[in-house]
Amino acid sequence: MTDIPRRGKQVAEPDYHWVDSPEGLEAAIPRFLGYPCVAMDTEADSLYRYEERICLIQISCPGGDWLIDALALPTLGPLRRLLEEQSVEKVFHGADYDIRLLKKAGIQPKAVFDTMVAAQILGIRRVGLSDLLRERFGIELVKRFQKADWGRRPLPPDMVRYALEDTRHLLRLREALLAELEAKGRLGWARRQFDALLEVRPAPRTPPDALRVPGARNLDDRGRAILQSLLDWREEVARKRDLPPFKVVGTEVLLKLAMRAGASSLDFGGIPGLTEKVIRTSGQGIREAIQRGYLAHPIPWSPRKRPQAERAPMGGRRRLALLKAVRDRKARDLGLDPGVLCPNAALKTLAVSSPREFEERLEQSLSPWQRELLAAELRGAILGGCR
């Protein structure tokens, strides 16, 4: 079998396989497929790019640890054979974000075990990977690279070690949590929750909206038009520079500029965050955006309406309180966090449901295991509250 390319010089210990070629990835896939479980994680650069990318994929199995340099590969397509293979369980910790990233890359994961979800369903309060590994195995993780730029190449040795540690203990943790789930009779709940995770979708990018900026209601109509123009300018600059918008200039800075420009002549002085560098590189663009805002239609204050599920009609607050009481009591009995048993958002949806709508919304809002535990009592509370 073709050996997998290594870059042992990046880190002396522990040993690992570094994959940065299509041939190396193709050679690795059969090895992963030979195990019933593999541990996985992804690292992205959302704090450093306009459109986030998968930069690194970590895979650990009994045969070793692999770091896949996603930036060096023309496609991640070969990984579909692993991630979409039903017979190989992929073990993540906090899989929601990883699944969204993989779906953006055109991969639809199947057969996932999420150690964070498993811990939540067991009623464990501290479900971070560091906490779980410390409490069960005495392993201390260093988490200082959570906000690092994973698009850097070559990766510094400390970042390589960090990436390896995120997966190399997951299979052992899965075994421990699996045994506890089976002992408590909650493995079925966890499996259903894992399946629900596979339904998450990448969130679409939403255009900037002045009316959603905290503090926008304190502007006059002209000031909000200026703020919208500044937000649109920043979005375009961020796209061209391949930066997240907040790294161009902060939203609070734009709000203060809109306040000042709407009230009098523009003065850049004394605005925290509006540094000399920002003025030098973006001052002209800011001035032009403000001028466009002056010429645009004024934007009257009209707060964005919340979804229907959050706008309780008369009696909705009382029904919500009844539903929360049912949920909280059941959560205490089971030793679960109330939000794990049933999120507040789901209760708000049910609280504004008519008796006719209740069953459909119950089906849409809760997983099967949650309905099994709560449906009868929630139904009694909501129907009683609708009288």
The pLDDT tens digits for 346-368 are: 999 888 887 788 888 888 889 88
- pLDDT, tens digit (0-9, with 9 covering 90-100), for 27-56: 999 999 999 999 999 999 999 999 999 999
pLDDT band at residue 265 under the 50/70/90 scheme: low
Q: Among 263, 295, 327, give the residue marking a domain's end.
A: 295
Q: How large is the average pLDDT for residues 361-378? A: 90
Report pLDDT for 6.
Answer: 39
- pLDDT, tens digit (0-9, with 9 covering 90-100), for 225-234: 999 999 999 9
Calpha distance 152→167 (Å, rounded): 20
Query: What is the b/e burial string over 318-348, where b = at least 16 CB atoms within 10 angstroms of the residue's CB?
Result: ebbebbbebbeebbeebebebebbbeeebbb
Q: Among 145, 170, 197, give the residue marking a domain's end.
A: 197
Cβ(188)–Cβ(368) under 8 Å? Answer: no
* 151 and 25 in a common domain: yes
* 313 and 286 in a common domain: no
* 152 and 51 in a common domain: yes
Report pLDDT for 263.
Answer: 56
Number of domains in the chain: 3
Report pLDDT for 11.
Answer: 37
Kindly report the CATH number assigned to the domain that includes residue 55: 3.30.420.10
Q: How large is the average pLDDT for residues 245-260? A: 94
Q: Which residue range is the domain that position 37 belongs to?
A: 8-197
Q: How large is the average pLDDT for residues 188-212? A: 94
Report pLDDT for 12.
Answer: 42
Question: What separation in angstroms does the CA of 247 have from each of 3, 50, 115, 183, 268?
Answer: 42, 10, 33, 49, 18
Q: Among 197, 227, 256, give the residue marking a domain's end.
A: 197
Could you tell me the sign of the dihedral formed by the alpha carbons of 163, 169, 171, 175, in that order? negative
| Torsion angle defined by CA atoms of residues 310, 311, 315 and 320, in that order, rounded to the nearest 10 degrees | 10
Calpha distance 235→239 (Å, rounded): 6
